[in-house]
Amino acid sequence: MTQHAEASCRVEFDYNGIAWMWLDCPDGPTNTLPMSVLDDLHRVMDQVEGHAGLHGLVIGSAKNAGFVSGASNQELARMHDLDHVERLMERGHALTQRIARLPVPSVAMIHGHCLGSGLELALACRYRVADRAVGTSLGLPDVRLGLHPCHGATARLPSVIGAWRALDLLMSGRSIDAEGAARIGLVDRTAPRADLEEAARDVIWWDPGRHRPSIATRLLRLAPVRWLIYQIHNSRLQREARPENFPATYAILRLWRNAAGRRMDGRLRAERESLLRLISKPSALNLVRTFLLQDRLKREARALDVTVPQRVHVFGAGTIGAGVAALLTLHGREVVVHEPDANAADAARQRAGRLFGQRLGEGEPADAAQQRLTFAGADDMPADAAFVIEAIPEDVSAKRSLYQRLEQALPAESVIASTTATLPVEVLAEGLVRPEQLIGLHFFHTVERMPLVEVVAGDRTSTAALQLGHALVAAMDKLPLQVRSGPGFLVNRLQLPYILKGAEKYERARREIIDTAALRFGMPIGPLELADSLGLDVCKNLAERLGYTVPAQLQEAVDAGRLGQWSGQGFHDWKHGRRVTASVPPGEHELGAIARELVDPMIREAVRCRDEGIVADDDLIDVAALFGAGFPAYTGGPLTLLRERGWGNPAAGR
């Protein structure tokens, strides 16, 4: 073979005239396609096109992690620069067109992740062969970032698998495995990874012709049929999500309606124009920013030079403790749960089993996880644990008593983490010999679903203890956010004004309208339903602790014993754990005004938290709101909403 080296890819020509192009980006374990890599690929294509006796092209990855993992974060961070984005798209379209127009067969040889721009590169090839292993996934997740594909996928995918299936993948952002991709024609052949090169050679020599959907499916490109399909999808979208919440989903549907009948050059031009329109609006850029903020927390946690202990002890098997234990076990830790109540221990074991079944399926992996989870009595003090999580009820005396017993049993360097939701760490640390080893880990209900965990620093907490907390949270595939200790920490402080404003506006006949207004704005749950799920007495106590005036409606409900979901009555009525709803059709204008009233107090509280230095910078206030309080991602967070739209009046009092 002859070989030519490039910065992020190389090409080798074998004796059969096949060019083997290998992607190998130097800056990480995965391949991405920023402008610099596109330039390298163009230079390699110059060599491929100029090679005498060329019989085929195979594009593969030299990375073990996979083919291409998707968008480059450095390019995502430049999405506000429309001129740069336009150049990026033009460069990507030119590359994929060069591959697609080769007079010889081209094959994308896929293993691991083939996502976003990676799948777009693969779609430019005449054929695709894929590793049939479980870890192979193909998809176009751009829509989840507030974007849509920019290197030709909107133009090519419908021609390969048909419009209906293409719209499903484009609009949902979901990924499919190799066998699923083969069933719909996205992949031409699957094989074990060790046999992929042979499969690629076979396809090149066989050259059966591009996969095409059926004639009936191709008729969907006709303008009248496109319009009908557009109406069906658009009506469903309107029921599920407002355009400002998911701008890319609507943009993809409009793009297909308007451009699917054009020739390839016209479809690519329409893709460029559509994406430029999309990113000229704040909602799309805010969704990109949300992704980058999430990535920031993950990168910072991964960068810590900390070893997470293999065994973790959890005291308490209540709602939070059981969820934490199950997640730790799922992610490979050995967990000992200390719980005196046999019923609670059994419930925690069953909860963990359900989680293992959902995430790992049946068989050996789930069985192995179950073996890693064991139970012990509350009085069994671990003697050699490096990390202990306390998840007992919110009783200061009980918590301090447990810490004192743990200090006597544990090595001096062991870290104790409290899952308290409201109690300051320095209050809990009173009387401890080693207060610097106590941190807070504030998980949210439900632990398995909520992505954020507040890592709470008391006034004497050590840096080493905090870093270990960050690393442990990251090992659970959660987002660790460091916050300064204080009543309510950060997320509770952001949510409480939202709840209290809903309570202040509460009238039994209008309760559905209040919650619906919040849902239409993009909140995952209305303020009244949220209050009921937390417990109205809990909300009242937290309001008093943080110095808020308790609304009369909330006080009356607590006094009457209507404490929320568990009692059967709160602001809403509940039956068997489900909300009993009333049908009240509100007007759109009224919903918008109510949403503004509910959200403004959250923004004012965000400003106060920023001014008090609860977290390191403004972006982290938005992180807490987005991933902890459910603030809609298209807004960018409360401080971004304040900057961009002027919502929230910081001068207003509580």
Q: How far from the centroid of its chain's Cα atoms is residue 41's Cα? A: 30
How far apart CA 619 and CA 651 sit, in angstroms, is 21
Contacts of 251 (CB under 8 A, 6+ apart): 148, 274, 275, 277, 278
Tell whether the model's pLDDT for residue 219 goes beyond 80.
no
Is there a contact between 149 and 170 (Cβ–Cβ < 8 Å)? yes
**For 170-207, how does the pLDDT look when each residue is reduced to its tens digit (9 = 90+)?**
999 999 999 999 999 999 999 999 999 999 999 999 99
Tell whether the model's pLDDT for residue 360 goes beyond 50.
yes
How far apart CA 289 and CA 286 sit, in angstroms, is 5
pLDDT at 652: 54
**For 330-346, how does the pLDDT look when each residue is reduced to its tens digit (9 = 90+)?**
999 999 999 999 999 99
pLDDT at 651: 60
pLDDT at 223: 74
How far apart CA 555 and CA 538 sit, in angstroms, is 11
Is there a contact between 23 and 9 (Cβ–Cβ < 8 Å)? yes
How far apart CA 299 and CA 192 sit, in angstroms, is 32
> Largest Cα–Cα distance of the chain, in whole Å?
87
**For 77-130, how does the pLDDT look when each residue is reduced to its tens digit (9 = 90+)?**
999 999 999 999 999 999 999 999 999 999 999 999 999 999 999 999 999 999
Percent of the chain with pLDDT over 90: 80
pLDDT at 374: 96
How far apart CA 373 and CA 387 sit, in angstroms, is 16
Pinpoint the alpha helices (H) of 364-480.
364-372, 396-409, 425-428, 463-475
* C-alpha dihedral, 396 to 402 to 406 to 408, nearest 10°: 90
**For 13-58, how does the pLDDT look when each residue is reduced to its tens digit (9 = 90+)?**
999 999 999 999 987 889 999 999 999 999 999 999 999 999 999 9
pLDDT at 586: 53
Contacts of 500 (CB under 8 A, 6+ apart): 539, 543, 548, 550, 551, 554, 601
pLDDT at 5: 42
pLDDT at 6: 47
Element (H, E) at 387: strand 387-390
**For 249-293, how does the pLDDT look when each residue is reduced to its tens digit (9 = 90+)?**
999 999 999 998 899 999 999 999 999 999 998 999 999 999 999
Mean residue pLDDT of the chain comes to 92
Q: Residue 653: left if φ>0, alpha if ψ -120 to 50, beta else—which one? A: beta
Band of residue 2 on the pLDDT scale cut at 50, 70, 90: very low
**For 497-532, how does the pLDDT look when each residue is reduced to its tens digit (9 = 90+)?**
999 999 999 998 889 999 999 998 999 999 999 999
Backbone angles phi, psi at 450, to 5 degrees: -75, 130
pLDDT at 3: 47
Query: 3-state SS string over 164-231?
Result: HHHHHHHHHCCEECHHHHHHCCCCCEEECHHHHHHHHHHHHHHCCCCCCCCHHHHHHHCHHHHHHHHH
Band of residue 4 on the pLDDT scale cut at 50, 70, 90: very low
**For 607-653, how does the pLDDT look when each residue is reduced to its tens digit (9 = 90+)?**
999 999 999 999 999 999 999 999 999 999 999 999 998 887 766 55
How far apart CA 145 and CA 279 sit, in angstroms, is 11
Percent of the chain with pLDDT over 70: 96
* Burial (Cβ within 10 Å: 0-12, 13-18, ≥19) of residue 547: exposed
**In this structure, is the dihedral angle defined by the CA atoms of residues 354, 357, 359 and 363, taken in order, positive or negative?**
positive
Band of residue 225 on the pLDDT scale cut at 50, 70, 90: confident
**For 372-416, how does the pLDDT look when each residue is reduced to its tens digit (9 = 90+)?**
999 999 899 999 999 999 999 989 999 999 999 999 999 999 999
Helix (H, G, I), strand (E, B) or coil at 618: helix
| DSSP-derived pairing of the beta strands 452-457 and 387-390 | unpaired
Is there a contact between 299 and 292 (Cβ–Cβ < 8 Å)? no
Helix (H, G, I), strand (E, B) or coil at 418: strand
Q: Tell me, what DSSP letter sits at residue 77?
A: T
Tell whether the model's pLDDT for residue 654 goes beyond 90.
no
Q: Tell me, what DSSP letter sits at residue 235?
A: H
How far apart CA 500 and CA 287 sit, in angstroms, is 28
Helix (H, G, I), strand (E, B) or coil at 517: helix
- Sorted by where each starts, the structural domains of the chain and their CATH numbers stand as 2-280 (3.90.226.10), 309-487 (3.40.50.720), 492-645 (1.10.1040.50)
